[in-house]
Amino acid sequence: MNRPGLDESGASLIAERVRTAALIESLSARLAAVIEATADAASDDEHDPEGTTLAVERGQLVAQIDRSRVRLEEIDAALERLGRGAYGRCETCGEPIDPERLEVLPAARQCVRCAARNPTRRW
For residue range 70-89, what is the model confidence (pLDDT) as tens digits?
Answer: 999 999 999 999 999 999 99
Which residues of the chain, if any, have pLDDT below 50?
1-4
Task: Please list, in sequence order, all residues whose beta carbon lies within 8 angstroms of the beta carbon of residue 59, skipping any fewer than 6 positions away.
Answer: none
User: Which pLDDT score, from 0 to 100, does residue 2 have?
Assistant: 43
In a domain, 1, yes or no: no
How many structural domains does the chain have?
A: 1
Q: Is residue 84 part of a domain?
A: yes
In a domain, 105, yes or no: no
Dist. CA 57–CA 78, nearest whole Å: 31
Question: Distance of alpha carbon 8 from its chain centroid, rounded?
Answer: 19
pTM, full prediction: 0.78
Rounded distance between C-alpha atoms, residue 101 and residue 111, angstroms: 8
Residue numbers of the domain that contains 66: 6-88
User: Would 95 be classed as within a structural domain?
Assistant: no
